Structure 1
Amino acid sequence: MYDTEPDYRFTLANERTFLAWIRTALALLAAGVAADELIGGGAGNIDHSVLAVTCVVVATLLSLGAFHRWRRVQSAMRRSDPLPPASIVRVTVGGVCAIALVCVVVVIL
């Protein structure tokens, strides 16, 4: 099947969704920096460093996944194919659960 230009409203909606994922990734990145710089404080706080690294890794995965998702959706719309499944949701849920578990460990210790 050949590519056609989708309705601009769908393209703009796809871009807004991409930007929402990027905002989430930026928030997690900021949380990672805050966990290390503001909360961690010293070299002996390895638990805060683990929390910071977890936040940064999840933020990186989300930003890469957001770009991949945006491209796949845009391509599907151009070919009039069904939209691909949103695997980025699983990454988000898994990442937030991992961060929550690390937070529990940090609070307990």
Structure 2
Amino acid sequence: MKNIRSKSKIAWRNEGEAPDYRFSLANERTYLAWIRTALALLAGAVAIDQLSPELANPVIRTGLSLFLCLSSGMLSLFAYRRWAANEKSMRNNKALNYTDFLKLISIGMLILISLIIFAIVS
């Protein structure tokens, strides 16, 4: 049973033809850029929580830090899923999938900016 699960998880890697390595490397660079962004969000969470006690009251600081931590984790998962989907599409000579998650990220950043402005003003 374990072999069936492990084979099904990576079955797409054996489908189709291996894409031009330049496209795979470009996809990997994009993945790494998303991961760097997730790490930056995580660093921001730590900075707000540990290095700026005068920014706002502890409840607001903790809320901002938790929001950034959760955003970092979600972005990491999204980065891997997007990388894998792009690799699968390239192996099968299909168009790359468009994602609506980018809109969600933009809305999340707008919320974050609003919360930080509120914390600084109050």
TM-score by length of 1: 0.90
Alignment of 1:75-86 (within 5 A): 75-86=88-99
The answer to whether residue 33 in structure 2 is matched with residue 20 in structure 1 is yes
- 1:55-75: CA deviation from partner (whole Å, max 9, x where unpaired): 111111111100000000000
Aligned length: 106
Unaligned runs of 5+ in 1: none
Look up the equivalent residue of 2:47 and give its one-letter code.
A
Superposed CA offset, 1:70-96 (max 9, x none) = 000000000001000133422321221
TM-score by length of 2: 0.81
Match of 1:51 among 43, 49, 64: 64
Pick the structure with greater CA Rg: 2
Aligned-residue sequence identity (percent) comes to: 36
Give the drift of 1:22: 0.4
Q: Distance in 2 between matches of 1:15 and 1:9?
A: 10
Give the equivalent residue in structure 1 for 2:76: 63
**Alignment pair present for 1:101 and 2:87:** no
For 2:53 and 2:101, how far apart are their aligned partners in 1?
A: 29
Residue of structure 2 equivalent to 1:10: 23
* Structure 2 CA distance for partners of 1:74 and 1:81, relative to 1, 3 Å: same
* CA distance in 2 between partners of 1:91 and 1:38 (Å): 28
Which segments of structure 1 move beyond 4 Å, counting only runs of 4 or more?
none
